[in-house]
Amino acid sequence: VTWSTGRVAIDSTFGVAIVGYTEGRLTRAVDRALRRLEGRTGITFVRDTAPRDTSRAQLVVRAGKAGMAVQGVEEDESYALDVGTRVTLSASTVVGVMRGLETVLQLVDADTAGYYLPGVSIQDKPRFPWRGLLIDVCRHFQSVAVIERNLDAMAAVKLNVLHWHLSEDQGFRVESKKYPKLHQLGSDGLYYTQDEIREVVAYARDRGIRVVPEFDMPAHSSSWFVGYPQYASAPGPFVIERAFGVHDAVFDPSRDEVYAFIDGFIGEMAPLFPDVYFHIGGDEANGKEWNANARIQAFMRTKGFKDNEALQAYFNQRLEKILEKHNKHMVGWDEILHPDLPHNVVVQSWRGQASLAQGAKAGHLGILSAPYYLDAMRSSEYHYGADPLPDSVGLAPADAARVLGGEVCMWGEIVTPETIDSRIWPRSAAVAERFWSASTVMDVDDMYRRLSVVSVELEELGLVHESSSARLLRRLVPGQHIGPLVTLVSALEPVNLGGRMNVNPATQLTPLTALSDAAVPDPRARREVAALVKTFLANPAQGGGYRAQLTGIFDDWREQRPGVTALAALSPAVREALPQSADLADLGTMGLEAMGYLAAGTVAPADWKARATALLERAQQRRAHMRFAVMEPMRALLLAARP
Amino acid sequence: VTWSTGRVAIDSTFGVAIVGYTEGRLTRAVDRALRRLEGRTGITFVRDTAPRDTSRAQLVVRAGKAGMAVQGVEEDESYALDVGTRVTLSASTVVGVMRGLETVLQLVDADTAGYYLPGVSIQDKPRFPWRGLLIDVCRHFQSVAVIERNLDAMAAVKLNVLHWHLSEDQGFRVESKKYPKLHQLGSDGLYYTQDEIREVVAYARDRGIRVVPEFDMPAHSSSWFVGYPQYASAPGPFVIERAFGVHDAVFDPSRDEVYAFIDGFIGEMAPLFPDVYFHIGGDEANGKEWNANARIQAFMRTKGFKDNEALQAYFNQRLEKILEKHNKHMVGWDEILHPDLPHNVVVQSWRGQASLAQGAKAGHLGILSAPYYLDAMRSSEYHYGADPLPDSVGLAPADAARVLGGEVCMWGEIVTPETIDSRIWPRSAAVAERFWSASTVMDVDDMYRRLSVVSVELEELGLVHESSSARLLRRLVPGQHIGPLVTLVSALEPVNLGGRMNVNPATQLTPLTALSDAAVPDPRARREVAALVKTFLANPAQGGGYRAQLTGIFDDWREQRPGVTALAALSPAVREALPQSADLADLGTMGLEAMGYLAAGTVAPADWKARATALLERAQQRRAHMRFAVMEPMRALLLAARP
């Protein structure tokens, strides 16, 4: 990136010339970009009756060629962008142009003279070729509309693989014409028709995104066996599981008819999903049904398998041959890594960089997921800091080249169509930058500054991650002012999946309309309070605008309590947050008192210290599936006042 | 309605017994109601493995029969509901049960003991059998998802007809396999496939809602002629019109091949839309192309037609015969009313109750739309007060019986998928009550009290009318706090369609992402300020909580100005609202001053009076396609201080 002094104004004359290679995918992408630019600026651009030539175009787009017929990891996504007297965007492929168009939209700026693109010269290409988002539509189903709006958001941040987790103990989500009982009995009626699958795949391709389907085998497979119990390792009958976690249902690897069934199924799915990669899961087979099945035990003895890992490796080898027959490369989770695993299999690591490195050294291509589990409810900062190829793993260049990239994972236990966006975004945008940009791009403050803008802009694509919290809060107390609840929830974040399952575990049937569903991970207040407290503590006696800001926040915390209490009397669903409402009010009160002691240079009295200690302990606790996101700065502030 | 002291608690044991007639439509409706009840209360209900018997069910549902195979105006929608030791819901038909289930959901209450249904006995049935919502998907296309969420909302407030306006100068929105150039050339690619039409019709039937299609003829028909210019009255070529208003394109009523084409088209559409009614538009034929076509003029002379009305009556008669052949009853707008019009034609009045009464006296069935145009941007109170059968029209009972009901109309000029909900809801819920309940149910304050609850509850169905304003504001100033804009916009409302087209007219291509799109009609502030000012003026010297509330609002108005000014420097799209931001600040300042003078019993100085007059005049003006919704109370307050 080289900045220059030029600028290109965006006004109603703004228009595009496409020179060089063109096709429908390119013109549609350009058209979408123009419409978004209109929406952001409120300016209606003049429609051209004839194509513009470069002399009259503010944006000149030049693609060399279409790119791959079926997009793959070898796709050239690079582009060059120059903003001078006009904007010139050049790329070898249509996909490269799409990446560049998103950069153009990110560059839009404004001052009193109006909207404009600032002078700049950019040469850009991705660090990793596999930049994915996994969406689990099995624990909770997500409609085509939800998938498509997330594809739009992925394209906006240059992610290029939708890893679509389509089968699970809790649901089988694709129509099978060959084995119709899969979707008919395994989905509660919540599945994608094959037409819908084709629509989504085409929608993704139109945005330069690959779709890699995952059908999890041999375990996580209860929903298959509701309709086809004959392929399981236990007699059944099986039901769609409602509880989350590891279930026992597992394919029987010892019988040829099982592979014939899988072959038939994959043969049906292979053309539906044109991507060359096909994910077979392979995780968390607990082996209980294998252990309990005498015939399988006998089979293992015959084959000389020492353990269930060997049995699963055998299953994977046969699976790999089936995939090969259908011209697919196999992808699976960590567990499939085994000395007998063919080298052309891609290993997706949910166990971490070390496990990934182990696979790469063994000659396998790899994808990292471990640090990008969104249900861990970590901060954007945390995910941003996790590199797929940290120096610490010390891979030789040839091994390092086998690390294709990474995937953000949105597992579906605790998300609905209404809340899923707020779990995926904006955090995934930070990871997308980690996958695309150099490992040296690491300025967290700058990342958050840009993230707050990008997050809002993503909603123009139909996402609801910024809107859903207030929606849910309004519905908890219909007709009432939600101000007190907004204040309370803004200081809280949802606990992670483990925490969610420890207390009052949710199932697929639990309504996800509670305060903890309105709370968002890594809320803005976390960073705001941390920054203000840090500045204050640097010189408590000094004045400054940040003091008023911090005081204002603490006042709001105190004032939410009577409001929340009144709302809880009307709405029993609010009642579970009363302890946290009280704690937040106390944090506000003691925060103000601490500021007072520190500013005056006086020492807090002994009983105040005791109360502060008790409050910090109390507020640290998780309740109503939420925890305070502001404990770190509040601990620092209160401890500073009781040295 | 008879209230009693009983109550039925809603806890995890809550369950339903279906006794008597049952079918999929009924069980799905019951299931949807249970899921919404779970969402509202946050309680997971125990799932039954076997059907409940009445002794273990908190809700007993009894339907007599399915109801009509194709729902019609004769459908029995009545139900009886009794909440005592358990809830008993009985209805003659499945549709009646659906209406009753919505009442059950509206009855949910809560206190410190938890959620419950209060004791009550209700005998209920609709006043009018035709309670519709027109959605124009032509000026701006609306996806299936938008239509379906609005169908859910319609069902929630007991509306029962979706009048789907499917063709216009600006777009032809249905796939035709017989005449594919209709959707291929007339829609910009934005149309419903026949599969999607069937899906929507089935979705509507599942909710007790009829779907009446409208294909507007002979005028409002430019988009037909893009592909089929040979059926127009002028030679063409024709284009999809981008400007709104009345265009000249019109079918040629003088040629038999035109009727053959229409016959073929209606023959294709008839089975797609099973409803017995079929709307042919018939409005705003300006006759210009007829006047300019010598052959048509000669045809009129041959037939002895004195004027274009006679020509259109001839067209309608032939159209009516075509519809009859396909077993459809014709519906059209006011203009089709003509002495030669067959009696079995239904007239939909956009001109008012008098026009409707005229049709009823002439023997036609009628539907009222005139007072329910949502693009007029009137208040819920205004629409609520408009009765389809006011005493003033003085119809004899036999004539009055011909008034089937009414339709709320959502014309599509200034709405997108993002804003349409906020134009339809919650105002249409007030009209729905007008159509369903007795004309004597007229308590406006009570209506607004209930409306504020219902509005929020409707969002549980996926609507975005409460959420879209903040969404749009955030996107105008990405990454900035929107508080000042929220305050400004909350006091404003969008101007009506006429006002919108007078200044800087919008076309189909105008981005609808401005402040005026974030503003909502009949904002809450209108009533709040009016009520507070009224209370204050009743006794200005007296204290009371309402004084602090009013002062708080005026303070907010003053304080938004610097914030909005700062945001306008970053976002040129905000700049157009600067004059109104200044006016609102002045209204706040002078409002506070007026309260001071009035409370003290002093007279405002002469120059203050002059400034107040000037401000009231200034603030009355429409700018940026918005007007202040608080002028009435502010005028009263300021005038009171300068008697």
**Residue numbers in A near B41 (CB within 8 A):** 511, 572-573
pLDDT of residue A559: 98
In Å, how far from its chain's centre is CA A632? Answer: 25
**Residue numbers in A near B145 (CB within 8 A):** 143, 145
**Residue numbers in A near B573 (CB within 8 A):** 40-42
Is B44's CB within 8 Å of A478's CB? no
> Are B457 and B183 spatial neighbours (Cβ–Cβ below 8 Å)?
no
The pTM is what? 0.96
pLDDT of residue A340: 85
Q: Which of A188, A445, A460 would best serve as a mutation to test chain B binding (most B beta carbons within 10 A)?
A: A460
Closest CA to A38 of A61, A63, A16, A5: A16
Say which of A457, A509, A571 has its CB closest to residue B478: A457
Distance (Å, whole) CA A450 – CA A454: 6
CA angle in degrees (0–180, nearest 5) for B148-B168-B280: 85
Is A573's CB within 8 Å of B42's CB? yes
Say which of A112, A510, A572 has its CB closest to residue B114: A572
> Are A447 and A430 spatial neighbours (Cβ–Cβ below 8 Å)?
yes
Residue B573 DSSP label: G
Q: A314-341: b or e for each residue (b if 16 or more CB lie within 10 Å)?
A: bbbbbbbebbeeeebbbbbbbbbbbeeb
Closest CA to A228 of A253, A255, A251, A194: A251
Q: Which of A48, A456, A570 would best serve as a mutation to test chain B binding (most B beta carbons within 10 A)?
A: A456
Is A35's CB within 8 Å of B479's CB? no
pLDDT of residue A49: 83
Distance (Å, whole) CA B431 – CA B378: 12
Distance (Å, whole) CA A24 – CA B179: 24
Say which of B42, B457, B475 has its CB closest to residue A456: B475
pLDDT of residue A226: 98
**Residue numbers in A near B446 (CB within 8 A):** none
Is B460's CB within 8 Å of A475's CB? yes
Is B44's CB within 8 Å of A510's CB? yes
Catalytic residue among B284, B559, B576, B593: B284
Q: Which of B46, B106, B471 would best serve as a mutation to test chain A binding (most A beta carbons within 10 A)?
A: B471
**Residue numbers in A near B479 (CB within 8 A):** 449, 452-453, 456
pLDDT digits (tens, 9 = 90+) for B142-167: 999 999 999 999 999 999 999 999 99
Give me the phi and psi of B171, to 5 degrees please.
Answer: 170, 145
Residue B113 distance to chain A (closest CA, Å): 8
- What is the interface pTM, i.e. ipTM, of the complex? 0.94
pLDDT of residue A341: 87
**Cα torsion angle, B162, B163, B167, B169, sign:** negative
Omega before residue A426 within 30° of 0, cis? yes
Burial class (CB in 10 A: 0-12, 13-18, 19+), B570: middle
**Residue numbers in A near B39 (CB within 8 A):** 475, 511, 513
pLDDT of residue B341: 87
Distance (Å, whole) CA A435 – CA A437: 6
Distance (Å, whole) CA B117 – CA B110: 8
pLDDT digits (tens, 9 = 90+) for B442-491: 999 999 999 999 999 999 999 999 999 999 999 999 999 999 999 999 99
Per DSSP, chain B holds a count of helices (H) and strands (E) of 25, 19
Three-class DSSP category at B192: strand
Distance (Å, whole) CA B129 – CA B198: 24
Distance (Å, whole) CA A456 – CA A460: 8
A74 flagged as catalytic: no
Residue A495 distance to chain B (closest CA, Å): 18
pLDDT digits (tens, 9 = 90+) for B496-528: 999 999 888 999 999 999 999 999 999 999 999
Residue B88 DSSP label: E
Neighbours of B507 (CB within 10 A): 15
pLDDT digits (tens, 9 = 90+) for B24-80: 999 999 999 999 999 999 999 999 888 888 999 999 999 999 999 999 999 999 999
Residue B168 distance to chain A (closest CA, Å): 21
Q: A247-272: b or e for each residue (b if 16 or more CB lie within 10 Å)?
A: bbbbbbbbbeebbebbbebbebbbeb
Mean pLDDT for back-to-back runs of 10 residues, chain B (643 residues):
94 96 97 97 92 93 97 98 97 98 97 95 98 98 97 98 98 98 98 98 98 98 98 97 97 98 98 98 96 98 97 96 97 90 90 89 93 97 96 90 97 98 98 97 97 97 97 96 97 95 92 97 97 96 90 98 96 96 98 96 93 97 96 97 81
pLDDT of residue A153: 98
Residue of A nearest to B12 (CA): A510
Mean pLDDT for back-to-back runs of 10 residues, chain A (643 residues):
94 96 97 97 92 93 97 98 97 98 97 95 98 98 97 98 98 98 98 98 98 98 98 97 97 98 98 98 96 98 97 96 97 91 90 89 93 97 96 90 97 98 98 97 97 97 97 96 97 95 92 97 97 96 90 98 96 96 98 96 93 97 96 97 81
Q: Which of B32, B40, B193, B242 would best serve as a mutation to test chain A binding (most A beta carbons within 10 A)?
A: B40
Q: Retrieve residue B431's tokens.
A: 């009209």
**Residue numbers in A near B566 (CB within 8 A):** none
pLDDT of residue B394: 87
pLDDT of residue A270: 98
Task: Tally the C-alpha atoms within 13 A of residue A102's C-alpha that lie toward its C-beta.
Answer: 25
Say which of A462, A470, A572 has its CB closest to residue B470: A470
Catalytic residue among A199, A284, A381, A593: A284
Distance (Å, whole) CA B205 – CA B211: 8
**Cα torsion angle, B621, B627, B628, B629, sign:** positive
